Structure 1
């Protein structure tokens, strides 16, 4: 049940920024109430607490690390909740993608990586429930469009092309912007800047298989099993 999944998260263990706007004590109960809410008042009350310091602070445009843990739960509400609660979940996730985190609290640990930008962790959760998100109509489509901007590329093979240029083959989630952008390469606990990431061959189908050119990175750093994220996401700070 969704309530069990909410209780399974140790919200007190989520990195807590030293900011009076952050209110981790409201998260679990607010998520449970949103999951069962049916009236406008019930939805507004639960969502306002989550938006007022639980996972984001809407008045200041700030997102907290707790948003990454709440994202799969909000997607569960989007799948199972009342239409009013579903709409609130879309709005909260959209805020989590667009708002900026506090300096020093802009990254989270996920199942597969450490030090992932909060927005990228939330975006991956959103992309993983694509059908549920699209079922929310225009707001859901807008949320998915925003999530696709926080792209991720999993490297399966890398070959040096010339000095400082590596051709990386793997799976692209989301949409790599054009013109080329900066990236950050995650290899285990280490992170390396990639000055330029350029699409060589875009995905031809839903598998996401693509080839990217990584410029300005030593070949020994771009190894199979590493992942790329947008540099701009890692630089976000409130």
Structure 2
């Protein structure tokens, strides 16, 4: 089979180191009653080979027609489980027909968008093991008080336990990226829903980090804060000083002030 050429406009950097691919595959812990795994952006199947050894019911999704054609030749038994689609534009909770795990070497240029999509399907996605730009991986796993702590940190940590697993150097990819990569694992926590209005929670978190150097009192003005909230000491803090529970509390305070 003729090899697939990585495409810059798709953010493709194909992993070539088999030991790292095996390490990523073995980092998937799995969950009781969940045997379906979706690999995003399998390319030429370097990670896929090791995921198949782990006996998952494996589905592959890639937007690249050349990769899809290659994968059909390499894995004829997977048939319709090789899906040519944009992960961001499909409802995979329906495609997978129940809870599933996500794994993959995420394209750098859409990795954040993939995580927002995973958040949409959080009640179906029970675990994520992925490789992405190290800076983004560290941000997602970062605790409050860290400069890299941001919107994705809070939103993902609300629903997932997150572990930074290991760093991967550029030289094990074709073509090599200009930065290091990081592998992280997200495990769905036991929170079925937040103790606040979840739609408002998402809005509050995004607004709070919109001007992260300012105090919440200044950057939350766009939320239409009521006078009763203006003297609340929490508003003297900056967004990076609040953890998930603090943001839930802030969301409820805003909601209550509107109802008064």
> Shorter-chain TM-score: what band?
0.3 to 0.5
TM-score (norm 1): 0.33
* Larger Rg computed on CA atoms: 2
TM-score (norm 2): 0.31
Between Structure 1 and Structure 2, the one with more strand by share is: 1
Between Structure 1 and Structure 2, the one with more helix by share is: 2
